[in-house]
Structure 1
């Protein structure tokens, strides 16, 4: 077993990894920027080292400094969490070159699946159904116009190396496409260092449903059911739940088996997630693969009873999966909402100091916190304060517990998106499971503070 892990991340995911490491008697090393000096994860780790200035290039993306600290602290492995360097194949290779275990998939597979265009090609070869579109980068805007004519509007213009909705735009006609192409290309180049763009047919009113997989280095793989992440704002997830209230047992099985077949075909190991769009007839289309732990992994843990971070570590240690597909249980229903420091009317980040934080307690409530009382939410990073995870025996019970918990969730000193979350949870359409990706645009007209 690994003896000591450096966590190349911050906030709630760093705390989450520390929690599992303590359970496994593994020592932890935190790294932090000047802006995070007083953050909870820094004091909870066994050791902590300052990276540098708050800017990510000087801190959480500073590969050389991270590896220097790993050597100084004499760690065995690095866990990248999610975001930052978690899907950076060059970082994974650098870890391995330094004699460290990278807790994730192989760098080659990570690189292959990190490009949405390459992922489309790979998954098409593995037999997964794809959204109609181009499986290579566009040459220029003129080719974009020609491809869009062939597959028909509306289309989705996407950045090949994108994530979090950056460089992505729905386009309804040629004039919109010409206007959108250059701006999204520049945005993708700025955020990801890669301006490659491609086009897919837009599936109208789809569900965003993903399959969580675990695979070991011996070729064994299982799917841990699905998560529905359809309630989104600007292509970013707001509410995630497991299982989906929409899928039939047959579709659930088909999606899971397809995901397992695909990861075995590419030699993938560790935790990973295959994301799909599902139409109103339950046809499913491969969207992309995340070669890391997901933000929304707690809902899968709640319905299966598995610790996904522990499974990641055990796989990285060369252990075989200790269970088969028939052993994976599905019990109850779990919902996760992301609590952000943002203006609930404009959705703009609202950093600042939390003067009072009061969390709800009760049966079926789980908190994944990035902050504590008096914490400062920095403008340098993602403004997520916490994740509130609710478990119930049924979806209706989980929703009622969610509404009750949100009513008692208090964040003072800064604005938060709790009013938005309350409105979603209370909406009849949400209760009825009418959760297509246009849910917020369709039902949440105005949010009041």
Structure 2
């Protein structure tokens, strides 16, 4: 990857570029990348936006150096439950040697493709919210429900010092959330993907204990042999789920349990049989699976591998709440009808990974994962992540229709 000049330092600016695109690229250049995200710069950026648009701005420090920023557009009837537009400010690390362009310069090519870490996940959505509200405010419109935009840290590392803590705070409860939008995924077809639930992430570490000895001998009941049996059982299950996904056309990745061996640890020397070895697995379980029965199966696989085989959880999420997507639900009815009015084809799925939506749903609020990026390859966390500026701009237009529709949902029976 060749070094590229930073437009902030050179003063380069395309006078023909839409101002929304310029703002998007500015946000992409803020290095909120793990393991040391520059959250202060992101908060300052959002404070500036709030001042420009005349929005309320609240900063909630959920733990040291982890701040939730909430921009608020007050509704005409603040007693009604609000609309929450959530996005995260952090992005995942990059392997710069695999990128064609500097991932933190927001290079735009001749076709309007903007290359940057966070272009799809999910700084695009943050700016689409902001620019949609900018356009709506410019028309002088007002809506009955209050609209909040929340910008949260640490989603990419589990949200444990971000949204997971925020939903338990009085400041979140004071937002009086009725319905939330959060991130989704790109779709390479004309269809827009909508996510109404998520898998439960389980991260387990299996530990096998066995007889040690010299590397030249056939030691009985070694840790490696026992661990091999567990790995074989889990990967056989993985293959069954993989084949089920392939053979049953109606299934998506969100409908099956994914499982991957991600870490192997153990041993002290080439010529020493170790007394202990471990294997770590990343398991994502859809809401249709009985979690108790699945854990019993994990226990049985470990027991079958031999004495001294145990496992512990490094992460165990068990809330399987999903958001209603039938026409009897007032929020979904308005969301889906507005999309149909824009001739948008929707595909509803369970999210295959995990987002902050799970914490919002667990707190009792319906949430939809939606990133308006069709005709776009799925490149979140990938090398050369990009988003075309026309797709980005179309997303703003979509939100300028969705936000008023949702913010105008009539008073519900629970609000009477």
TM over 0.5: no
TM-score scaled by length of structure 1: 0.25
Higher RCO structure, 1 or 2 (CA under 8 Å, sep 6+): 2
